[in-house]
Amino acid sequence: MRRRGFTRALDFRHGQVEMTHGSGGRATAQLVEELFVAQFDNEALRRLDDQAQVEVPPGRLVVATDSHVVSPLFFPGGDIGCLSVHGTINDVSMAGARPLYLAAGFILEEGLPLADLRRIVESMAAAAREAGVPIVTGDTKVVERGKGDGVFITTTGVGVVPAGVNVSGTRARPGDAVLVNGTMGDHGVAIMSLRENLEFGTTIRSDTAALHGLVAAMLKAVPDIHCLRDPTRGGLATTLNELAHQSGVGVIIGEARIPVRGEVNSACEFLGLDPLYVANEGKLIAICAPADAQRLLDAMQAHPLGREAAIIGEVIEDEHAFVQMDTAFGGRRVVDWLTGDQLPRIC
């Protein structure tokens, strides 16, 4: 690549995003080259075309897109950068697909410190590298100060579903087992702990993680997984309702079987929240035939991202598609869709 001879390198210590960084001119080119290309570094990106040309193996192509507006930008256990990589990789993976490439669109607010932007982009690059899913194309726009909130990132991912895999939210059948790969509510509580007026000390970290490795291990053990979904906004409760609705079945879960950290429970208690509705960013729900459940659980628990996996309930016949829960107290209740907005700007 030929250097364009920018007179002065970007000032990542004191500089800030200016309107010219989004104008498409020399300043944009400099930001792209010295930050995005330098960090994301891969062959498709280095060509500096307006699009990426990539090779795709045979199979069904999966496309998923996800916008990220989390506030604050940096939180215990992660930041908007790695979140935007993990979120889209997970959306692709929940089809049972192997994620291959990512595209990233940035909306930057005038005045955002370049140091913050670099930290975010470095975090994205590290997350993409670790996941083995390169960011092959992107776009940057700048809006005036006050018209954004630092940075919004949209990522789009593509992947391929291998032959013989058929994961869908419509495939839950009465008798199926419902599993999760770990504790519920960590991400939401980590974000909440930093919010204005609420700041409370906690050791809870966001669980943000790319789940495609875990999914691959699960599919290896049980190729016929019926449903996979990541319980992000709306938490476990809302995601189970989505699946029940799509498949036209009911679900019964046992409160005592759902893994929730003690700290998350305590934080939810004094914030008046229910951990079942709090967002996760490194968790999945899996539904499979009862005969496969133990094998799937073993495979999950053998993976670093599934050590605390558990079977939490089962699918039942129910024309009303209710999700119900046997409470630890000894009663039974509906676990309904999330109403209103429990935690705005969570991802």
Give, for 39, the enclosing helix (H) or strand (E).
Answer: helix 38-40
- Taking the complex as a whole, the smallest distance from the CB of residue 230 to other proteins amounts, in Å, to 23
Q: Work out whether 146 is an interface residue with other proteins (CB under 8 A).
A: no
Among 330, 343, 346, 347, binds other proteins (CB under 8 A): 330
Among 217, 327, 343, 345, binds other proteins (CB under 8 A): 327
Taking the least distance from each CB to other proteins, the nearer of 3 and 320 is 320
Taking the least distance from each CB to other proteins, the nearer of 197 and 203 is 197
Q: Which residues inside 233-262 make contact with other proteins, applying CB under 8 A?
A: 262
Among 23, 26, 336, 345, binds other proteins (CB under 8 A): 336
Residue 68 falls in which region: left (phi positive, over 0), alpha (psi -120 to 50) or beta = beta
User: Cβ–Cβ contacts within 10 Å for residue 197, how many?
Assistant: 4
Taking the least distance from each CB to other proteins, the nearer of 43 and 269 is 269
The rounded distance, in Å, linking the Cα atoms of 169 and 229 is 8
Q: Work out whether 147 is an interface residue with other proteins (CB under 8 A).
A: no
- Taking the complex as a whole, the smallest distance from the CB of residue 339 to other proteins amounts, in Å, to 4
Among 228, 324, 343, 346, binds other proteins (CB under 8 A): 324
Name the token pair of 173. Answer: 């059948």
Taking the least distance from each CB to other proteins, the nearer of 5 and 330 is 330
Q: Which residues inside 261-320 make contact with other proteins, applying CB under 8 A?
A: 262, 265-266, 269, 320
C-alpha separations of 286 from 157, 166, 311 in Å: 21, 13, 9
Q: Work out whether 340 is an interface residue with other proteins (CB under 8 A).
A: yes
Taking the least distance from each CB to other proteins, the nearer of 18 and 318 is 318
The answer to whether residues 253 and 240 touch, using CB atoms and an 8 Å cutoff, is yes
Taking the least distance from each CB to other proteins, the nearer of 265 and 301 is 265
C-alpha separations of 303 from 33, 36, 82, 258 in Å: 37, 32, 21, 19
Residues constituting the chain: 347
Q: Work out whether 71 is an interface residue with other proteins (CB under 8 A).
A: no
Among 26, 51, 334, 345, binds other proteins (CB under 8 A): 334
Burial class (CB in 10 A: 0-12, 13-18, 19+), 195: middle
User: Cβ–Cβ contacts within 10 Å for residue 235, how many?
Assistant: 27
CA–chain centroid gap for 230, Å, is 7
- Taking the complex as a whole, the smallest distance from the CB of residue 238 to other proteins amounts, in Å, to 12
Q: Three-class SS string for 200-250?
A: CCCCCCCCCCCCHHHHHHHHHHCCCCCEEECCCCCHHHHHHHHHHHHHCCE
Residue 82: phi, psi to the nearest 5?
A: -65, -30
- Taking the complex as a whole, the smallest distance from the CB of residue 268 to other proteins amounts, in Å, to 10
The rounded distance, in Å, linking the Cα atoms of 325 and 311 is 14
* Binding-residue pattern over the window 196 to 235 for other proteins, x denoting contact by CB under 8 A: -xx-------------------------------------
Taking the least distance from each CB to other proteins, the nearer of 278 and 293 is 278
Size of the site for other proteins (CB under 8 A): 20
Rule CB under 8 A: which residues touch other proteins? 197-198, 262, 265-266, 269, 320, 322, 324, 327-334, 336, 339-340
